[in-house]
Amino acid sequence: MRSDTSTHPPVRPRGAHVAATPSGWRSGYWVVLALLVATYALCAAQHSADPSPTAFVIQLLTVAAVLRVTEVHARAQQVAWVALGVAGIAAIVVALLGMTGMVLDIALSVASTVAFLVAPVAIIRHQVMRRGLDTEALLAAISAYVLVGMFFTLVYNLAALLTGAPAFGDGVVDSLSTQLFFSFTTLTTTGYGNIVPASPGIQTIAVAEAITGQLFLITAVARIMRGSRRSPDETLAAPAPAGVASHPPEVSS
């Protein structure tokens, strides 16, 4: 005798984020990466330690794109948009009027540093709530990694502006381009040795960046391995292959 068995919907694991996300090729992280490339190019072309208002506007657009893609809470996103908008308008006015000065440079550097601290945190939070390994997860990891390198670049820049002393000693041009190069060689623990931090404060920042880079790689690999596995609930809820009919089990009396 065959008995009817009720089919229950799969139970979603606690903490799993199931919001619909676009496919990798339509992911907003492509926009974030494009803006990061533009930011990197502008910083690499900067032959002085003075922040560029143009680069600052691109950085603000990058953070705005990150907040949009990572689905930050609506209220927090509104506050962030207002703050970014005001900062962007101020930067444009500064560029049009040709204003310069140490206080202005420090203000731009501080704002950029804070913005590039918020962005990778938002990406990591967004990815922790997701499950599964896909193109978007890889793009998010790359974006967060580059943002961390840019964040430490701005930390070196801010330290140089506040102290007024060369960050890398005599014989090295203390420019944003040099700070960018040193930051990414430190983050990736490449360490060519042609640029060496001159003061204990810069050395401490460099050590912190090297540790952060290694921890990021470890957690990124763990995230990929966790996302590539299916939980038992997800395995049971997986659809049957095309052409294979799913029949309820028969119970003999």
Residue 7 confidence class, pLDDT cut points 50, 70, 90: low
Token duo for residue 100:
């310069």
Q: Is residue 12 part of a domain?
A: no
The number of folded domains in the chain is 1
Nearest alpha carbon to residue 139 among 55, 220, 222, 42? 220
More confident residue, 134 or 161: 161
Residue 32 confidence class, pLDDT cut points 50, 70, 90: very high
Residue span of the structural domain in which 83 resides: 25-230
How much is the pTM?
0.75
Question: What is the C-alpha to C-alpha distance for residues 240 and 237, in angstroms, rounded to an integer?
Answer: 9
Are 115 and 138 spatial neighbours (Cβ–Cβ below 8 Å)? no
* Residue 120 Cα distances to 36, 100, 134, 158, 228, angstroms: 12, 30, 19, 19, 22
Q: Is residue 252 part of a domain?
A: no
Q: Is residue 248 part of a domain?
A: no
What tens digit of pLDDT does each residue of 161-195 get?
A: 888 877 887 778 888 999 999 999 999 988 888 88
Q: Is residue 14 part of a domain?
A: no
For the four alpha carbons of 166, 169, 174 and 180, in that order, the dihedral sign comes to negative
Nearest alpha carbon to residue 151 among 31, 43, 72, 38? 43
33-47: burial string, b at 16+ Cβ within 10 Å, e else:
bebbebbbebbeebe
98-103-108-113 Cα dihedral, nearest 10 degrees: 160
Token duo for residue 180:
């960018």
Q: What is the DSSP letter of 25?
A: G
Token duo for residue 29:
């992280």
Q: Is residue 32 part of a domain?
A: yes
More confident residue, 90 or 8: 90
Section 187-212 average pLDDT: 90
Q: Is residue 249 part of a domain?
A: no
Q: Is residue 144 part of a domain?
A: yes
pLDDT at 132 over 80: no
Q: Is residue 1 part of a domain?
A: no
